[in-house]
Structure 1
Amino acid sequence: MTQALAVALMIALAVALLASLLLAWWVRTRRDAGLAAPVGEAPAGATEIASFETLYVATTRAGEPLERLAIRGLGFRSRADVTVLSTGVAIDLTGQPRLYLAADRIADVAQATVTIDRVVESDGLTRLSWRLDDGTVVDSYLRPQDASARALADAIGGILPTLHTGSDA
């Protein structure tokens, strides 16, 4: 095999790999096109309880930590500021509109160790389970930067009086 043929085969392989990645992401975005995040502001009078600098890792279907959802604004990792308010949780992802999760939308909050493309020390992630407008429960994973995942989970759990906060292994 000549050097030119080997280079041509490597280029063809790289193009085929990139094309398959693009096709897979396109299929995923089409599959998740009907899912939407709740964009908006907190109601007037909501008081701030705590604020955390985090790394937003991913949003997945509840109980499926390795299946990323391609929800507009939540498809990619990002730095985020999470503000726990008396009425819910506001998430400000870099370059995206504010997400506001009213307390009645939140199904659970716990700690986790694994999600798509991220494995951390035991209980190093905060898993926030919440409902989309259509009732689908999703899990969003956050990695606090200057606090523990437990502190974030406890702050969110504190606004949800009937919620048990726990840990996923």
Structure 2
Amino acid sequence: MDRILPGSIIIVGVIGLLILMVLGWRARGRRQSALATAAVPSDELLGELRLAVTGLYVSTTTAGAPLDRVALAGLGFRGRVAVSVFDAGILVAVTGEPKVFIAPDRVRSVGTSTWTIDRVVEEGGLVRLDWTLESEHATAAADVESFFRIEDPDRSSRLIEAITALSPPDGFSTPDQEGSLA
């Protein structure tokens, strides 16, 4: 009998925290509802496959706000990932999530990083892709940073080189990148 009241209080507290977490995630989704990823082109429009790598998708955050996770479909949850670089752009396929297509003109920079929201690795252990999400409002496009942990470090550098080769003629910058190859 002595343990029923404290146990009940703890259970109610845990349930309350879970409810608050769900409500917070849904509110984040509503705040980001104007943002959207580009439609994935058909296979014939993607062009030739330049490189495909596998690893872990870690996160996508708002640029300059490293704790502000993006909650869009295909980008909200971590998981196994296949990143493919085609002539037409980059295809990110997280297991169990919709595919995300990033056109070359949306890429701002690419390089390596050591940390993101809840992951710290060895120097240059994450591939960091800085790009711009589309928006329903022309003035509300969002710059974001996506982080990938590629299984083989050699493949990480090849991924960075393949994305850099997609660069538009005027190129893109590499602000705040650690060990950038661009």
The DSSP-based 3-state class of the residue aligned with 1:154 is: helix
- Where do residues 111-150 of structure 1 align in structure 2 (5 Å cutoff)? 111-134=112-135, 135-148=141-154, 149-150=156-157
Distance 2:152 2:8 in 1: 48
TM-score after normalising by structure 2: 0.82
Measured against aligned partners, the alpha-carbon deviations of 1:122-160 in whole angstroms (never above 9, x if no partner) come to: 111111111112332111111111344333222211221
Change (3 A) 1:23 1:45: closer
Distance 2:178 2:153 in 1: 19
Paired residue for 1:110? 111
The DSSP-based 3-state class of the residue aligned with 2:77 is: coil
Distance 2:11 2:30 in 1: 29
Letter in 1 for 2:53: F
Change (3 A) 1:86 1:4: same
CA contact (8 A) 1:157 1:165 kept: no
**Within the alignment, does 1:47 sit opposite 2:48 as a pair?**
yes
Alignment gaps of 5+ in structure 2: 136-140
1:96, distance to aligned residue in structure 2 (A): 2.8
* Aligned-pair identity (%): 37
Distance 2:119 2:26 in 1: 22
Aligned residues: 169
- Where do residues 16-165 of structure 1 align in structure 2 (5 Å cutoff)? 16-41=16-41, 44=45, 46-134=47-135, 135-148=141-154, 149-160=156-167, 162-165=171-174
The DSSP-based 3-state class of the residue aligned with 2:35 is: coil
Distance 1:44 1:87 in 2: 7
1:165, distance to aligned residue in structure 2 (A): 5.0
The DSSP-based 3-state class of the residue aligned with 1:10 is: helix
1:60, distance to aligned residue in structure 2 (A): 0.8
TM-score after normalising by structure 1: 0.88
Letter in 2 for 1:159: L
Letter in 2 for 1:146: D
Alignment gaps of 5+ in structure 1: none
